[in-house]
Structure 1
Amino acid sequence: MTDTIQRVRKAVFPVAGLGTRFLPATKSMPKEMLTVVDKPLIQYAVEEALEAGIEQIIFVTGRGKAALEDHFDISYELEMTMRERGKSLAAIENIRQKPGSPVYVRQQEPLGLGHAVWCAREIVGDEPFAVLLPDELMVGSPNFLAQMVAAYSRVGGNVVGALEVPDSETDKYGIISPGRVDGRLTEVTGLVEKPKGKAPSNLMIPGRYILQPEVMRVLDNPVRGAGGEIQLTDAMAQLIGRQPFHGYTFNGARYDCGDKAGYIQANLALALARDDIGPAVRDFARGLLNDVGRG
C-alpha cells in the first residue's frame, strides 16, 4: 500500500430497517438477527469486516434493535452456566467485541441508505470507510470485503462491489455505468439507482462499499432520489470524476437474504457445506426432490 492511500479502519453497518418483507418473524426481532444455519446475518457481516482488517464497527440502528446490541455483548449468566456444565464457549467467544466497541448511533427516521450512512459521519470522521449491508451474505475465500480492500490498496479512491445480474433485474439495484476494465476492476463512469427503461449495464452494487469521507459532505445537502429516499448511490455519483472510482467483481457466492427465496438458498447452501450437518441435509434434500419428482 502506498503512503497516499489511507487504510480502511472503520466499517458502517446500516441496520435500522424494519424488515417488512419478513413479517411476522421481524415484528419483534431485528431482521439482521435472522439466522443462516446457526449464526445471525449480522454476525456474518461483522466477521467479514474483521477478517478484512476493520478495527471499528459502527452500527446505525433504530428502535427495536436491542437484541442486536445484546448479541455482541457479554452474557454473564449464559457463560457462567455453560462453564458450570462443562460446555465449550467456542461458539460465542468470538462474538464479543473489545470494550467500548462496537459503536451504536441512531437513525431516527427511515429516510434511506444515504441518510443511514450520514448518521455515522461524526464517528467516521475524515477517514475512508467501508459500508456493509447484512442482507447481502457473501461467501468466498478471501471474503468479499478483503478482496475489495486489496483492490483499494492498489487504486485508492472509492471501490464498490460489482456483480452481474439479468437485464430484467437491473431496476432493483444501483447500477454501474462501466468504463475501462482491468481484470476484476471496472472503472465507474456513472451510477444510476434503480434505473427505469434501459440500464447502462447489468453490473449492480451488492451492498459492499469502500468510500472516501467526502461522500459525507455530499450527504450534508441531501436530495431525495428513487422512492423519495436519500440514496447513497446518488451521493456517490457526485464523486465520480473528482476521485478514482471503481467497481470490483466478487469472486465468490452471493445470497440475497433480504429476499425469502435467497434466504432459504443461503441456509441450504451453507448447511450443505458443513461437515457436521451437511450429510444429513443432503440426504433429506435428495429424498425431498425425489418425492417431488414422483409427484
Structure 2
Amino acid sequence: MKTVKKAIIPAAGFGTRNLPITKVLPKEMFPIAGKPAIQYIIEEAIESGIEEILIVVSRNKNMILDYFDRSLEYEAFLEKTGKQHLLNKIVGPAISIQYVRQPFADGLGTAILLGKRFASKDPFAVLLPDDIFLQSGQPALRELLDVYENYQSTVIALEKLNEKLLKNYGVVKAIDLQDNTYEISDIVEKPRSTPPSNLAVSGRYIFEPSIFSYLEKGGKGVGGEVQLTDAIQKLLKLEKCYGVEVSAKRYDIGTDKGYLNLIQKLMSNSKKEDE
C-alpha cells in the first residue's frame, strides 16, 4: 500500500487580493499569533506525517527561504545573552524543505508541474497556503491521507458553502459515500450559475503522479493560465477521485475577513487558556 510522504506548497503568486501590503510582504509571511502563515502550513504537514516538502516560490519570495534557513548570528546572540530558551523559536522545523522558482505567475497548474521531479513516481500532497485550518482533532491533511490510504486514488478537501460564495471556488459534483467522504464525478471552476453542488474545493489535495501528464496536456485555460481544475476534469474521465468534507475550520487569509477572523479566533482561544 502506497503512503504519502511528500508535499508541494505553491507560494509563488502575487497575492493581489491582499494589495497593497503584498507589494513588499509575501502573504505567506503574514503574522498570525507570532508566526508567519506558512509555518502553520508546514506544521500541519508535519503533524500529518509528511517528511519532504517542496515550496514553489517566485523571485520576490526570498523572505520565505530566509525564514526557514538557520541564522547562526542570531543563535550566537541568544547564547551570548543568556537567552538559550528562545532558541527553539528560531530553529527551523525538523523536516526536509526544498525550493523551486516559478519564473512566471501563469497558474496553479504550472506551479504544481514544477514539482514533477520532486514527486517522481510517488503520490504527493498539495497544500495551498491561503487556506489555514484550525482543528480540534486531526489536521485537515491527515483526514485526506486516511481516505487516500483506503482508496489509493486522488483525494480533494471539500467544504459546504453558501450558494452565494460558490462562484469563487471550484465546485464538485459528487456521490455521498460515508463518513463525509464522496466520490467525485465532475468539477467546475468558479461556476457563475447552477453550481453542481454546494461542495467547494478547499485548499488540500492528494495526487497520484499521473496528474502531471494531465497538466502537461491541458494547455492554458481561464485567464491564460494552466488551471489545476482543467487537469482534474481530464483525470476524472480515466481515474477515480474522492472528496473529504474535512472537520477542521478553514480560514481564507487571502481575504481581509478570513485573516482577521483567524486572528480573533486564536486570541479567543489564548484568552480561554489563560483563564
TM-score (norm 2): 0.94
- For the 8 Å contact 1:138–1:252, the answer to whether it is kept is yes
Shift of 1:11: 0.3
Alignment match of 2:166 (pick from 167, 170, 184): 170
Task: Report the alpha carbon displacement of residue 237 of structure 1 after superposing the two structures with TM.
Answer: 1.6
Is structure 2 residue 208 aligned with structure 1 residue 212?
Answer: yes
Q: Give, in whole Å, the separation in 1 of the partners of 2:47 and 2:230.
A: 29
Matching of residue 91 in structure 1 with residue 86 in structure 2: no
Which of 105, 130, 146 is equivalent to 2:100? 105
Aligned twin of 1:139: 134
Provide the C-alpha distance between the structure 1 equivalents of 2:110 and 2:208, rounded to a whole number of angstroms: 16
Amino acid paired to 1:92? I
SS at match of 1:86: coil
In the alignment, structure 1 residue 183 sits paired with structure 2 residue 179? yes
Runs of 4+ in 1 over 4 A off after TM superposition: 275-279
Among candidates 233, 246, 251, match of residue 250 of structure 1: 246
**Deviation at residue 84 of structure 1 after TM alignment:** 2.0
Letter in 1 for 2:202: P
Q: Summarize deviations over 1:62-99 as a string: whole Å, max 9, x none.
A: 01111100111111111111122222123233x3445x
SS in 2 for 1:58: strand
2:230 to 228, 231, 234: 234
Distance (whole Å) between structure 1 residues aligned to residue 245 and residue 273 of structure 2: 31
Instruction: State the AA in 1 paired with 2:77.
Output: T
SS at match of 2:173: strand
Give the percent of matched residue pairs that are identical in Structure 1 and Structure 2.
Answer: 36
What's the counterpart of residue 109 of structure 2? 114
Aligned length: 272
Return the alpha-carbon distance in structure 2 between the equivalents of residues 192 and 157 of structure 1: 20
1:160–1:205 Cα contact (<8 Å) kept: yes
Cα distance in 2 for residues equivalent to 1:184 and 1:201: 14
**d(CA) in 1 for partners of 2:5, 2:230:** 24
2:27 aligned residue (21, 25, 31):
31
For 1:284, the equivalent position in structure 2 comes to none
Q: 1:222 aligns with which of 218, 226, 235?
A: 218
CA distance in 2: counterparts of 1:237 and 1:8, whole angstroms: 23
Structure 1 residue 46: deviation in Å?
0.7
CA distance in 1, matches of 2:145, 2:253: 23
Residue of structure 1 in register with 2:42 after alignment: 46
Q: What residue ranges of structure 2 are gaps of 5+ in the alignment?
A: none
Q: Please, what is the CA RMSD of the aligned residues? A: 1.6
Deviation string 1:247-280 (CA, Å, 9 cap, x unpaired) is: 101112111100011101111101211259866x
Contact 2:218 2:230 in 1 (8 A): no
Is structure 2 residue 122 aligned with structure 1 residue 124?
no
Match of 1:154 in 2: 150
Normalised by the length of structure 1, the TM-score is 0.88
Q: Secondary structure at the match of 1:273?
A: helix
| C-alpha distance in 2 between matches for 1:258 and 1:63 | 20
1:293 alignment counterpart: none
Q: Which amino acid aligns with 1:231?
A: Q
Q: Unpaired segments of 5 or more residues in structure 1?
A: 280-295
Mapped to 2, the partners of 1:24 and 1:219 lie a distance apart of 32
Task: Give the secondary structure class of the aligned counterpart of 1:224.
Answer: coil
Quick check: 1:72–1:97 contact (8 Å CA) kept in 2? no
- Residue 28 of structure 2 aligns to a residue whose secondary structure is helix
Task: Assess if the C-alpha contact under 8 Å between 2:6 and 2:50 holds in 1.
Answer: yes
Q: Which residue does the alignment assign to 1:289?
A: none
Residues 176 and 205 of structure 1 are in contact (CA less than 8 Å); yes or no, is this contact kept in structure 2? yes
Question: Structure 2 CA distance, aligned partners of 1:135 and 1:238?
Answer: 25
| Alignment correspondent of 1:74 | 70
Q: SS at the partner of 2:78?
A: helix
